[in-house]
Structure 1
């Protein structure tokens, strides 16, 4: 039987845009979260073994 050590890795995705109106930020974050969650789930990466992700915008 092979024993695999579980490790945690951080991943940072930074998306830069210029001159986007502030009112567009919240819906864009919501869309990104929804699409990212769906994509990870489809690939089998969205389950209890993986920590939830955090999103920030300025």
Structure 2
């Protein structure tokens, strides 16, 4: 699907030294469902990793 996996996103954030992530895209009114898909992706991808 071209959607990066969690490990790939975490590696990119670490490699780029990202401390603040700005998320932008089309308006929900122009692309219905965008907010739900983006929210689901971000919640899943950026969820805290349980500590051992």
Q: Same fold (TM over 0.5)?
A: no
Scaled to the shorter chain, the TM-score interval is: 0.3 to 0.5
Larger relative contact order (C-alpha < 8 A, sep ≥ 6)?
2
Bigger proportion of residues as helix:
2
Q: TM-score, normalised by structure 2?
A: 0.34
Larger Rg: 1
